[in-house]
Amino acid sequence: MATPGTSADARVAIVTGGSGGIGREVSRRLAADGMSVLVAYAGNPDTADQVAKLIVDEGGTASTFGADVADETQVADLFDATERLYGGVDVVVHTAGIMLLSPLATFELADLDRMHRINIRGTFVVNQQAARRVRPGGAIINFSSSVVKLGFESYTGYAATKGAVDAMTLILARELRGRDITVNAVAPGPTATDLFLDGKDQATIDRLANLAPLQRLGGPPDIAEAVSFLAGPARWVNGQIIYVNGGVI
């Protein structure tokens, strides 16, 4: 789905996981900032179409494209489609990922391999295409997690994949020297999304909400605000992991 009449000088953003809780708000925020947005999804075209329609109804420009972020051919096709539709790519926001929890001693290795494929290989593949295609003045924004430093029990496997995202982000920023492209990662804390809240009782949710001095969970719009900053005016923020967690750490 796309809207006609896109401005020739509009910036263009790809948002992977763009139909999810945080990805949805990121897509809407970047569209509100004036960008043409390609909402990339993995398995549910209807949900992605709903996000694109919402953006269009709000006066923005959006399209959808399905791709497995860990498949290099499909990701290349995603970037090809964006360039055909909008003429180039300026911003890549990689929100796609999964979170599977268990203590290390009992963690199923099949689950670890699944998270590795999506969270680590997926980030690598998307960043590889972004490094080749993003235009000067652009931004690559990965998604880490505050749990890398918080050390919550049962988060070992997930936090390990996000630690890898941190490493990729810091090094890629340096590898793009001279290209005028920033590379950063957003590391949300406890955020009220279906992914985070799944399986948690109210007492656990309340405890996590009270970790922040602001005494609430973050919301997807809070995270999208930080992404908007990194994608637009924050040209002197580069090679950083930005903790967007209300002051938990």
Mean local confidence (pLDDT), 139-153: 96
Number of domains in the chain: 1
Whether 165 contacts 212, CB under 8 Å: no
CATH number at residue 74: 3.40.50.720
Q: Which amino acid is at 51?
A: V
4: pLDDT strictly greater than 70: no
Computed over every residue of the chain, the mean pLDDT equals 94
Question: Residue range 51-69: average pLDDT?
Answer: 98
pLDDT digits (tens, 9 = 90+) for 90-100: 999 999 999 99
Q: Which member of 86, 155, 158, 243 is catalytic?
A: 158
Instruction: Report if residue 34 sits inside a domain.
Output: yes
pLDDT of residue 5: 40
Q: 175-215, pLDDT tens digit by residue?
A: 999 999 999 999 999 898 887 787 788 998 999 899 999 99
The amino acid at residue 221 is: P
Helices 122-133 and 72-86: crossing angle in degrees, nearest 10, is: 40
Q: Identity (one letter) of the amino acid at 53?
A: K
7: left (phi over 0), alpha (psi -120 to 50) or beta: beta
The C-alpha atoms of residue 39 and residue 23 are separated, in whole angstroms, by 8
Q: What pLDDT score was predicted for residue 200?
A: 84
- Domain, as residue range, for 64: 12-243
Bridge partner list, 41: 66
Helix boundaries (H) for the chain: 21-32, 45-57, 72-86, 109-115, 122-133, 147-150, 156-175, 194-197, 202-209, 220-231
* Residue 243 designated active-site: no
Given pLDDT bands bounded at 50, 70 and 90, which one contains residue 7? low
Is residue 15 predicted with pLDDT exceeding 70?
yes
- 8 contacts: CB under 8 Å, gap ≥ 6: 87
Q: Answer yes or no: is 6 within a domain.
A: no
Which pLDDT does position 158 carry in this prediction? 97
Any domain includes 249: no
Report residue 180 CA to chain centroid gap: 21
What integer pLDDT is reported at residue 8 of this predicted model? 57
pTM of this prediction?
0.94
Position 3 confidence tier, pLDDT thresholds 50, 70, 90: very low
76 is a domain residue? yes
Residue 7 lies in a domain: no
Q: Is residue 1 part of a domain?
A: no
